[in-house]
Amino acid sequence: MSQIPFLAIVLTPLVILALATLLTWVERRLLGLWQDRHGPNRVGPGGLFQAVADGIKILFKQDWIPPFADKAIFVLAPTIGMMTVLLSFGAIPFTAWSGIVGTLNVGLLFILGMMGLGVYAVVLAGWASNSKYALLGGMRAAAQMISYEVFMGLSLLGVVMIAGSFNLHDIVMAQTHCWFILPQCLGFLVFLLAGIAETHRLPFDLPEGENELGAGFHTEYSGMKFGMFFIAEYAGIILISSLVTTLYLGGWQGPLLPAALWFLLKTTSVVIFFILLRAALPRPRYDQLMALGWKILLPLSLLNVTATGTVLMLRAAG
Amino acid sequence: MLNTVRTLFLTFLHAFQRRATVQYPEEHPYLPPRYRGRIILSRDPDGMERCVACNLCAVACPVDCISLQKTEENGRWYPEFFRINFSRCIFCGFCEEACPTYAIQLTPDFEMSEYARPNLVYEKEDLLISGTGKYPDYSFYHVAGVTIPGKDRGEAKRERPPVDLHTLLP
C-alpha cells in the first residue's frame, strides 16, 4: 500500500466533488438545450459559476433537524451516501497507472459492495426522518435498489467471465482488441438500466418522485445535509458512467489521445446520455418499474450469463 | 422499447433547434403597436391637450386607479390634475376604449419598475407626451361643435353653419 501516492488519495475525492458540483450546472444547461431554452447562463462565463453560487447558498442555509427525527441516524445517513460513492472511486483505474487502488484484485466486488452499502443512506434517511413521505421514499428506494442490485451483479458476470478477473485493471486490458459492449451488449443494456435505477436518476427516480412524495427520502433534509445527498447523487452518476466506461467501453484505451483524456471523453458521453434520459423520458409507475426488473431484466441477464458461458465453453473446447 | 429510443432521438434533435427564450435585458421581445403597456396622455395635431376631463376613463377603470379634476380655460376643458396609480393599474385598456377624444392611450412599454410604491403614481406631467400617439390626425375640437377661440360655431369639419332663425320667418 505504500506505493499509493498520498496526493492521489487527497486529490481524487476533491476532483470528484468538484466535478459533481460542476455536473449540476452541466445538467441544467443540457436540459435547457434539449428543451429549447438556455438554462442558467448569467453567473460567470456561460453561467459556469452558478454551481459555485448554489454551493455558497446551500452552505449558509440553516441546518435544521426536525424535532421528530431520529437525530443520530438522521445525521449519519447523508454521510453514508457520500462516503460509499467516494470510496468506490478508489477502485476505478482512470488510466493504466493512476487511480488509488486500480489494480485491487476484488475491485469490481468492492464497488458492488459499496453500492450495496449506499442503499443504507437512502433507507436510513427515509426511516430517520420519521415522516410519511420520507418513509415511503425510503421504502421504494430499498425495494428498487436491492432488486436492481441483483441484475447489476448478474449482468456483470459476463464481463467477469470473459476477462477472467475481478480486477478492473485486468478487465480493461482484456478489452484491448474488442470492447465488451459488442460481445456483452445484453449485459451492457441491463447494467445501464440497473445503473440508472441504482443512482435513482430519472426516469427511475421513484424514491424521490417529487410530484408524488414531495422529495421522497430527503423531504426533511435541508442545508448541507441535503447538499450531500445531492452531490452524492451526481457523484453516483459519474461513478456509474466511469464503471460503464471501464467495463464495456474499453476504459482508458484508445488511439492517439492520452489515456486520461480517453477515459474522460467516454465517461462524459455516458454522463450526457444519463442527462438525455432525464430530458426525454417520463417516470414509470412503481409496479411497472418492478415488473421491468424482475420480468425482463432478470431473465435477460440470466440469458446473458448462460450464452456467455456456452460460448466460452465451446471456444475452450474447440 | 422502440418508442423510448425514438423519444430519446427526437429530444436529442432539439439541441439543434432555436431556443424559445428571449434573453430579456439584452434582447427585447417584439411588442405590437397595440400592446397594452404604460398609459400616456396624447396631444392633438396642434399640440394642445386632447383630454377634456370627461371622467369616462375613471368611470370605466375597474380598479379605480385614475383620478382627475376638470378645469376650464377659454371654453376648452382640461384636467386640472390627472393621476394614474400604476401600482393598481391592471392594463386592461378599458380607459382607452372609453375615451371619446383618443387622449388616453396604452403604449408598448412595460419597463416601469420602481423600488418604492409611491413612485408608481404618475402625475399629469409624467403622463403627457408631446405627440399624437396612435391617431395622428384626430383633433376633438375640430370635429365637435363646441366653440373655442379661433373656431366659431359651424366651422368644425363636416359641420354646416348654424341656421339663422330669422331667415325662416315668413
> Is A296 near chain B, with CB under 8 Å?
no
Give the pLDDT of residue B59: 94
Residues of chain B with Cβ-Cβ distance to A36 below 8 Å are: 14, 17-21
Rounded mean pLDDT, A180-208? 84
CA A219, distance to chain mean position in Å, is 21
Flag if A34 and B12 touch (Cβ within 8 Å): yes
| B16–chain A nearest CA distance, Å | 8
Q: Provide the residue range defining the domain that includes B53.
A: 38-149
Instruction: Determine the residue among A26, A29, A30, A35 to mutate to test chain B binding: the one whose Cβ has the most chain B Cβ atoms within 10 Å.
Output: A35
| A125–chain B nearest CA distance, Å | 32
Gap between the terminal Cα atoms of chain B: 101
Flag if B8 and A35 touch (Cβ within 8 Å): no
Amino acid code (one letter) for A108: L
H or E element that contains B78: strand B76-85
Instruction: Determine the residue among A28, A29, A33, A273 to mutate to test chain B binding: the one whose Cβ has the most chain B Cβ atoms within 10 Å.
Output: A33
Flag if B20 and A36 touch (Cβ within 8 Å): yes
Q: Is B134 part of any domain?
A: yes
Q: Is B10 part of any domain?
A: no
Rounded mean pLDDT, A145-154? 85
Q: Which residues contact A306 (CB under 8 A, 6 or more apart)?
A: none
Own/partner pairs, A141-145, CB within 8 angstroms, 24+ separation: A141/A200, A141/A206, A141/A207, A141/A216, A141/A217, A143/A290, A144/A197, A144/A200, A144/A204, A144/A206, A144/A207, A144/A289, A144/A290, A144/A293, A145/A118, A145/A119, A145/A197, A145/A198, A145/A200, A145/A207
| B10–chain A nearest CA distance, Å | 8
Mean pLDDT of chain B: 90
Rounded mean pLDDT, A57-70? 87
Determine if residue B99 is labeled as part of a ligand binding site.
yes
> Is A281 near chain B, with CB under 8 Å?
yes
pLDDT band at B4 (very low <50, low <70, confident <90, very high): confident
pLDDT band at A215 (very low <50, low <70, confident <90, very high): confident
pLDDT at B64 over 90: yes
Q: Is B98 part of any domain?
A: yes
Query: Is the Cβ–Cβ distance between A184 and A162 less than 8 Å?
Result: yes
How many percent of chain A have pLDDT more than 70?
97
Report the C-alpha gap between A126 and A141 in whole angstroms: 9
Q: What is the ipTM of this complex?
A: 0.76
Q: Is B113 part of any domain?
A: yes
pLDDT at B50 over 60: yes
Q: Is B168 part of any domain?
A: no
Q: Is B156 part of any domain?
A: no
Window from A3-17, B6-20, B142-156 with minimum mean pLDDT: A3-17
pLDDT at A218 over 70: yes
Q: Quick one: closest CA in A to B17, which residue?
A: A36
> Is A38 near chain B, with CB under 8 Å?
yes
Instruction: Determine the residue among A36, A277, A281 to mutate to test chain B binding: the one whose Cβ has the most chain B Cβ atoms within 10 Å.
Output: A36
Window from A61-70, A89-98, B1-10 with minimum mean pLDDT: A89-98
pLDDT at A1 over 70: no
CB-nearest partner of B8 from A36, A38, A280: A280
pLDDT band at B39 (very low <50, low <70, confident <90, very high): very high
> Is A279 near chain B, with CB under 8 Å?
yes
pLDDT at A95 over 80: no
Q: What are the pLDDT digits (tens) for A77-93?
A: 899 988 998 888 888 88
Give the pLDDT of residue A318: 73
Give the CATH number of the domain where residue B128 resides: 3.30.70.3270
Residues of chain A with Cβ-Cβ distance to B6 below 8 Å are: none
CA B68, distance to chain mean position in Å, is 15
Which residue do the cell numbers 339663422 mark? B164
pLDDT band at B86 (very low <50, low <70, confident <90, very high): very high
Query: Is the Cβ–Cβ distance between A280 and B7 less than 8 Å?
Result: yes
CB-nearest partner of B20 from A33, A37, A281: A37
pTM score of the predicted model: 0.79
Give the pLDDT of residue A99: 62
Determine if residue B89 is labeled as part of a ligand binding site.
yes
CB-nearest partner of A280 from B7, B17, B21: B7
Q: Is B21 part of any domain?
A: no
Q: All 3 cell numbers of residue B76?
A: 376648452
pLDDT band at B117 (very low <50, low <70, confident <90, very high): very high
Q: What number of residues does chain A have? A: 318
CA-closest candidate to residue B68, choices B46, B88, B90, B84: B84
Q: What are the pLDDT digits (tens) for B89-112?
A: 999 999 999 999 999 999 999 999
Q: Is B159 part of any domain?
A: no
Instruction: Determine the residue among A30, A34, A274, A295 to mutate to test chain B binding: the one whose Cβ has the most chain B Cβ atoms within 10 Å.
Output: A34
Q: All 3 cell numbers of residue B16?
A: 439543434
Rounded mean pLDDT, A191-202? 85
pLDDT band at A4 (very low <50, low <70, confident <90, very high): low
Determine if residue B95 is labeled as part of a ligand binding site.
yes
Report the C-alpha gap between A159 and A152 in whole angstroms: 12
> Is A189 near chain B, with CB under 8 Å?
no
**What domain count does chain B have?**
1
Q: What are the pLDDT digits (tens) for A255-278?
A: 888 878 888 899 999 999 999 988
Q: Quick one: closest CA in B to A284, which residue?
A: B4
pLDDT at A178 over 90: no
pLDDT at A2 over 60: no
pLDDT at B12 over 80: yes
